Homo-oligomer: A and B are copies of this chain.
Amino acid sequence: MLEQLKQEVYEANMQLPKLGLVTFTWGNVSGIDREQGLFVIKPSGVAYEDLKPSDMVVVNLKGEVVEGDLNPSSDTPTHTVLYNEFPNIGGVVHTHSPWAVSFAAAGMDIPALNTTHADTFYGSVPAARALTKEEIEADYEGNTGKAIVETFKERQLDYEAVPASLVSQHGPFTWGPSAKDAVYNAKVLEVVAEEDYHSLQLTRDNIQLPQYLLDKHYYRKHGKDAYYGQNNAKSHDHSKHAHN
Contact = CB atoms under 8 A, between A and B. Distances in A.
Contacts of A7: none
Nearest to A191: B23
24 contacts: A23-B187, A25-B243, A26-B244, A43-B230, A44-B228, A44-B229, A45-B228, A45-B231, A71-B232, A73-B244, A74-B227, A74-B228, A74-B244, A75-B244, A96-B115, A98-B194, A106-B203, A114-B170, A114-B171, A115-B171, A137-B216, A140-B220, A169-B209, A197-B202
A196 interface: yes
The residue in A73, A103, A169 that gathers the most chain B C-beta atoms within 10 A of its C-beta is A169
A159 interface: no
Contact of A105 (B113, B133, B188): B113
Contacts of A99: 198
A131 interface: yes
Interface residues of A, number: 75
A170 B115 contact: yes
A124 interface: no
Contacts of A242: 24-26, 44-47
A196 B170 CA distance: 12
B136 A205 contact: no
Given A131-B213, A198-B102, A229-B71, A244 B45 contact: yes
Interface of A: 23-28, 42-47, 70-71, 73-75, 94, 96, 98-99, 101-108, 113-116, 130-131, 133, 136-137, 140, 169-171, 184, 187-188, 191, 194-203, 205, 207, 209-210, 212-213, 216, 220, 227-232, 240-244
A125 to B, nearest CB: 14
